[in-house]
A and B are shown apart, each in its own frame.
Chain A
Amino acid sequence: MRRILLPVAESPTLEDTITYVAEAGVRDTDAVRFRVIFLPQLRATPLDAPAERGDTLLNRVATLIEETTQGATAAVSVETEIVEATIDLYTPIDVAEILLEQIETYDIDQVQLDPSYGPPSKHGFVHPVERILREESTAMVEIAPFDPTPGILPGRLDVPRTGFIFTLSFLFYLVLAGGISTYGLVTGAITAGIVTITLGAITLWFPPRIRYTPIRFLRAFIYIPYLLIAITRANLDVSRVILHPKLPIDPRVVRYHPAVYGPFPLATLGNSITLTPGTLSMRIERGELLVHTLTEDARTDLIEGGLERAVRFLFFGRRAMRVASPGERGDITVSEPLESGGEE
Chain B
Amino acid sequence: MMDTVIQLLIIFLIIGGIFFTFVAAMGVVRLPDVYARAHTASQTDTLGAGFAVAAVVLAMGPEPRTAVAVLLLAFIFVTNPTAAHAIARAAYATGVPPWGESTEDDTE
Q: Which of B40, B88, B91, B92 contacts A242 (CB 8 A)?
A: B40
Cα–Cα distance between A283 and B84 once the two chains are bound (Å) = 11
Contacts of A280 in B (CB 8 A): 35, 38-39, 43, 84-85, 88
- Provide the main secondary structure of the chain B interface: helix
User: How far is B23's CA from A232's CA once the two chains are assembled, in angstroms?
Assistant: 13
A283 to B71, CA, bound (A): 28
CA distance A247 to B103 in the complex (A): 19
* Interface contact A176-B68, CB-CB below 8 Å: yes
- Asked if B92 and A179 sit within 8 Å, CB to CB, the answer is no
Does B20 contact A283, Cβ atoms closer than 8 Å?
no
Check if B84 sits within 8 Å of A175, measured CB to CB: no
Q: Is A28 an interface position by the 8 A CB rule?
A: no
Are B88 and A235 in touch, CB under 8 angstroms? no
Q: State how many residues of chain A have any CB contact under 8 Å with chain B.
A: 38
A-B Cβ contacts below 8 A, count: 116
Q: A277-B40, A281-B88 are in contact. Are A251 and B99 (CB under 8 A)?
A: yes
Q: How long is the Cα–Cα vector from A166 to B23 in the complex, in angstroms? A: 41
Q: Is B92 touching A178 in the complex (CB atoms < 8 A)?
A: no
Contact A232 B47 (CB under 8 A): yes
Question: Contact between B40 and A282 (Cβ–Cβ < 8 Å)?
Answer: no
> Does B68 lie within 8 Å of A235, measured CB to CB?
no
A270 at interface (Cβ–Cβ under 8 A)? Answer: yes
Q: How far is the CA of A283 from the CA of B20 in the complex (A)?
A: 26
Could you show 18 A-B contacts with beta carbons less than 8 Å apart? A235-B20, A235-B44, A238-B23, A238-B27, A251-B32, A253-B98, A271-B85, A272-B81, A274-B42, A274-B81, A275-B77, A276-B43, A277-B43, A280-B38, A280-B39, A281-B85, A281-B88, A292-B98
Give residues in A with beta carbon < 8 Å to B.
172, 175-176, 178-179, 231-232, 235, 238-239, 242-243, 247, 249, 251-253, 270-272, 274-283, 290, 292, 294, 335, 338-339, 341, 343
Closest 9 CB pairs of A and B: A338-B100, A274-B81, A277-B43, A282-B88, A239-B23, A242-B27, A178-B64, A292-B35, A271-B81
